[in-house]
Homo-oligomer: A and B are copies of this chain.
Amino acid sequence: MNMSHPSVHPVEAPPVTDGGAVNVPVPRVRMKDIQGMPGTPGGLFLRLCQFLFAVVALSIMTSTSDFVSVTAFCYLVAAVALQSLWSLLLAIVDVYAILVQRCLRNARIISFFTIGDGITSTLTFAAACASAGITVLIGTDLDECGQNHCARFETATAMAFLSWVSVSPSFLLNFWSLASH
């Protein structure tokens, strides 16, 4: 079974009509053309955004010395590390697909991407929310920013949220593509 098929010289299939309205060809939107899906430049852009935001969140959080004393911050580090690895892997796949003009529209591949995106985005979002809760607790409720790295915690949390925001379209587009197969 072919896992993917080359599309170097794509042949446009004639529109299927049932005898009527032949003179008015309706332009059909092809799933392939939606930017943001695997193997498209938009998809590669989303992956790079996810990767960059996750790496920035990881770097800022690990640059604070006392993040290990809070469980939620350790969890954030683990989640964005996983997110950055996953996004980097998929970015490489996208670069390959774009370079060799291969179409990644196989149900198994898209299922794998959808499940991976679902898991990593849920973990990243959960970590960002937990960190946000604690950042607000330290900064607003307890007002103890003097002895904590509030600015760095907030920046790392915001970057994790941005990473989640850029994973969500990938997940939703893949899920949509899977359902409309």
Residues of A within 8 A of B (CB): 69-72, 122, 125-127, 129-134, 136-137, 140-141, 172, 175-180
Report the copy number of this chain in the oligomer.
Answer: 2
| Residues from chain B with Cβ under 8 Å of A177 in the complex | 179
| Residues from chain B with Cβ under 8 Å of A137 in the complex | 70-72, 134, 137
Assess the A141–B71 pair: CB atoms within 8 A. Answer: yes
| Residues from chain B with Cβ under 8 Å of A133 in the complex | 71-72, 129-131, 133-134
Q: Which residue, of A126, A130, A177, A180, has the highest number of chain B Cβ atoms within 10 A?
A: A130
Assess the A71–B136 pair: CB atoms within 8 A. Answer: yes
Partner pick for A130 among B130, B175, B178, CB 8 A cutoff = B130
| Residues from chain B with Cβ under 8 Å of A69 in the complex | 141
Known: A72-B136, A179-B179. 17 other contacts (CB 8 A): A69-B141, A71-B136, A71-B137, A71-B141, A72-B133, A125-B125, A125-B129, A129-B133, A130-B130, A131-B133, A134-B137, A137-B137, A172-B175, A175-B179, A176-B179, A178-B179, A180-B180
Task: Give chain B nearest CB distance to A77 CB in angstroms.
Answer: 14
Query: For the complex, would chain A's binding face be called helix, strand, loop or mixed by DSSP majority?
Result: helix
Assess the A141–B70 pair: CB atoms within 8 A. Answer: yes
Task: Give chain B nearest CB distance to A51 CB in angstroms.
Answer: 23
Partner pick for A179 among B125, B127, B134, B180, CB 8 A cutoff = B180
Complex Cα gap A132–B175 (Å): 28
Task: Give chain B nearest CB distance to A57 CB in angstroms.
Answer: 15
Complex Cα gap A82–B178 (Å): 31
| Residues from chain B with Cβ under 8 Å of A179 in the complex | 175-180
Task: Give chain B nearest CB distance to A147 CB in angstroms.
Answer: 14
